[in-house]
Amino acid sequence: MVIKAFVFRPTKSVVWDDVHVSHPRCMAYETHTHFVNVYGQADGLWTVSNGLTIAEVKQGTLRHWIETNFGGVDIEETKHPVGETVTGVWRPGLFYDAEMLGALGATQSELRSAEQVLLLLVQRLDELLLFIEPTKSTLQTFGHKSRELLILACTEIESLWRHYLELAGLNPPKHGFNTNDYVRLVRPLFLEEFEVTLPRHKDVPSIRPYLGWNVHPSPTTTLGWYAAYNKAKHDRRNYFFEASLLRCIEAVAANLIMFSVRFGPYRLYHGAGPLAALFNANFSISIRECSPDEFYVPELKVENWQRRTWGRAEIEQRRPIPFKL
């Protein structure tokens, strides 16, 4: 059964005092028997919390229930039915590690491989930062180690982009994919939304490596760090300076984002291995200017809840659909 949901901003709290202030986004839907509402945050990774669920036996319409009980405003219908996810594309509303791989159509082997590659990139950048303190006067510093890291990071990015084009069923042209093909991923993967910061280094600006990536004037020139990689790789004599510390940071940030899209960002924060330790020591990741109507709505087990009940609700198994361009 396809169940549509609404996202909205609550303006009052029903059960928990001021929960609408700390969690100012909600998702609500109806089942055969109940109205269901779950609270979420509106910054950072926009986490949706099934521990803050309210369900009530149906009476009247869902919209009236939203407006009466939560003071709901800016009510919009979600793009995805309740419980649905897209293979390979993380969105807020998907949180728990136990359900992440199944919901995103990935395997444990793929995750381990991706973690190993990303760990190598983050380690290389961490080592670089031991020798160059990133300040306004040093961010343009370059050398053989920075060029090496930039090339490594960008070739991995190309591999990840190619993965998504193939996942969408595209066959590579005779001479292979290029940025005219890769740029098509910007919107379906929500790449422009992601922002990476380095909290310990105040002179490093916040980084949105995919912001503004488009076909005009060309897909390569609108992606500055990737254009720098192409120049430094193919013409070191004239463009060695393009392999700067800042370009390395941007390229590693772009890889962190691709990992977050494919496997969710939470393992970067809460994983048990060295990748999480290095990530937490250097980075923070969030999404900006996002559309909550494109988030995933968890289907919650509330069929045995009586009258109005609140608390933590278990999540039904997700239903991934194919990734398409």
pLDDT in tens, 130-189: 999 999 999 999 999 999 999 999 999 999 999 999 999 999 988 899 999 999 999 999
Q: What is the mean pLDDT of residues 113-120?
A: 98
pLDDT in tens, 27-56: 999 999 999 999 999 999 999 999 999 999
pLDDT in tens, 230-268: 999 999 999 999 999 999 999 999 999 999 999 999 999
10 Å CB burial of residue 169 (0-12, 13-18, 19+) is exposed
Is the pLDDT at 6 greater than 80, yes or no?
yes
Is the pLDDT at 287 greater than 80, yes or no?
yes
Angle at 60 (CA atoms; ends 56, 61), nearest 5 degrees: 90
CB 294, CB 43: distance < 8 Å: no
pTM assigned to the model: 0.96
The closest of 68, 100, 70 to 87, measured between CA atoms, is 100
pLDDT in tens, 55-111: 999 999 999 999 999 999 999 999 999 999 999 999 999 999 999 999 999 999 999
Which tokens hold the place of 252? 């590693």
CB 7, CB 76: distance < 8 Å: yes
Q: Residues of 259-286 as b/e, b for ≥16 C-beta within 10 angstroms?
A: bbbbbbbbbbeebeeebbebbeebbbbb
Angle at 12 (CA atoms; ends 7, 14), nearest 5 degrees: 95
- What is residue 2's predicted lDDT score, i.e. its pLDDT? 72
